[in-house]
Amino acid sequence: MCSIFGIFGLQPGDNVAALRRQALACSQRQRHRGPDWSGVHADERAILVHERLAIVDPAGGAQPLRSTDGALVLAVNGEIYNHQALRADLRAPYAFATASDCEVINALYREHADDPAGPSTWLERLNGIFAFALWDRTSGRAIIARDPIGVVPLYWGHDREGRLRVASEMKALVDSCADVAQFPPGHWYDSATGTLTRYYARPWREHDAVAGHTPSLPALRDAFEAAVHRQLMTDVPYGVLLSGGLDSSLVAAVAARYARHRIEDGDRSEAWWPRLHSFAIGLAGSPDLAAAAIAAEALGTVHHGFEYTFEEGLDALPDVIRHIETFDVTTIRASTPMFLLARRIKAMGVKMVLSGEGSDEIFGGYLYFHKAPDARQFHEELVRKLDALHNYDCLRANKAMMAWGVEPRVPFLDRAFLDVAMDIDAAHKMIERGSDGWQRMEKGLLRAAFDGALPDEILWRQKEQFSDGVGYGWIDGLKAHAETQVSDRELAAAASRFPHAPPQTKEAYLYRSLFEQAFPTPAAAATVPGGKSIACSSPAAIAWDAAFANAADPSGRAVAGVHNAATA
């Protein structure tokens, strides 16, 4: 994974050399995402800069990727897991210059140049995580696109001269674009027409389309195992994040099965790094460190459990907020230990990790789903959570890890697995419903599908938010620290100082203040939707239980009567 930066719409008389220098300076702000190499393309109408983190074809594959005739120029941040199948399906030969998984985008664009549906046709076929800018020099056309869920970040805006700018992180645009905003997931933009088009729309978004669909546990398991297998595509050392919870443990269990063989040549040769390494972090005595050790021993991974102190986490807060570009409370709480873990992983020479994000949004793993009154509302809330994921868990995992040049991959959000898992009537995902054995706790369906794959104390461990699992002293300490930093008077006047999404607690006020120091413009604040991800504050949750309306704490422990007390 990498970073991209682009300027499109240059006009005659523009100083291309000066804009090129400016583009390099802007791109440098996100070079932590791609420390391995920098590439630049500049012509009289467009500039593209790419900062590379080499994962596939590290010896080649430098970007921007150009067609042999020089007409197409492509900068991509991401991975295309099915690139080999897409290459094989091309109707006409294409002169590939590299073994990069991303170069197939150029080939697909050229092959479907005359398709009435435009890039929607071939974007729908990509299985991967990506954000890209493709420049067609012949037609003077730029195509911008982002993956279906928004696993990979992408921002855009216009400078004072009206030129379109795109970047992987907001920090590269905020000083030059007063209208900086997130580019929406599952969409593509055509500069030739000025249109933004949604290409990703699945039937399972509507409950009526899945009502009555019963689950096949073997099919669910097979689909997830295939997703993990696909995402082991790498030519560099990798590992798995292992908190000891259900989701990360399942990822690790499946990855351990395939770790000895090289995915890129069809599992025919031994992997270059055949031992699977797993990583966990927490305060001393945290629930996650203890559970991760149990899971790692059962799976036979080379495990690394790191401890951090509260003071180390507190010291990192300004850097964390600058990197993740949000003031959302839950996201910051969870990003900080992940940020510290990424630094340790980077120091060990690992460049890619698999992670468990997305499972809770697919199976209703958040504890407030216990209150869902019926399958329709349960399903609708799952879709809403998936739609918002790019602002929260995907943002956290990507930016916290990429702050140190470590690429996170998320098999639960693999688009093929999503089509299987979301095409199930939510009645089978609900808690305390029916007589099926897997319906006794959250994500029971997933647990049943992997019966025997993990120790029971891991397979049936109750949901812990990551910021809880690293040690309850982390959240409690953050609240106590905020009490000493923010006065009652400041909090009472929060709406005046912060008109957009004013903070409701002293902890939220502290984070908002740190965000303002890094990003002082109103446009930057407007990229953060609502400013809080309190699960219980969703309209659906409040409708399910009015008590959630007054929940000011996003911690999973705040769901009264659901979370079981745990000892740390």
Which position has the token pair 């690293």? 470
CA distance 406 to 80: 17
Residue 451 tokens read as 């019966």
Helix H or strand E segment including 21: helix 16-28
Q: Is the separation of the CB atoms in 5 and 76 below 8 Å? A: no
Diameter over CA atoms, the chain: 73
- 278 and 479 in contact (C-beta within 8 Å)? no
CA atoms of 562 and 529, how far apart (whole Å): 28
Pairing of strands 302-307, 37-42: unpaired
- Is position 2 annotated as part of the catalytic site? yes
Contacts of 86 (CB under 8 A, 6+ apart): 80, 104, 107, 108, 125, 126
Q: What letter does residue 215 receive in the DSSP assignment?
A: P
Task: Report how far residue 528's alpha carbon sits from residue 539's, in angstroms, rounded to the nearest whole number.
Answer: 18
Contacts of 222 (CB under 8 A, 6+ apart): none
CA 187 to chain centroid, in Å, comes to: 16
Q: Cα dihedral sign for 399, 129, 408, 135? A: negative
On whether the CB atoms of residues 208 and 425 are closer than 8 A, the answer is no
| Beta pairing class for 128-136 and 72-80 | antiparallel
The answer to whether 276 touches 352, Cβ cutoff 8 Å, is: no
Asked, as a colleague might, if the bond just before 64 is cis with ω within 30 of 0, I would say yes
Token pair of 261 as six digits: 């063989």
Measured in whole angstroms, how far is the alpha carbon of residue 438 from the centre of its chain? Answer: 28
- Cα–Cα distance measured from residue 181 to residue 21, given in angstroms and rounded to the nearest whole number: 23
Q: Please give the single-letter amino acid code of residue 378.
A: F
Catalytic residue among 2, 26, 177, 536: 2
**Which whole-number Å values give the CA distances from 191 to 19, 144, 152, 248, 416, in the listed order?**
19, 8, 21, 40, 30
Measured from the Cβ of residue 124, the count of other Cβ atoms closer than 10 Å reads 14
Which segments of 117-203 does DSSP mark as H helices, in order?
120-123
Burial class (CB in 10 A: 0-12, 13-18, 19+), 197: middle
Catalytic residues: 2
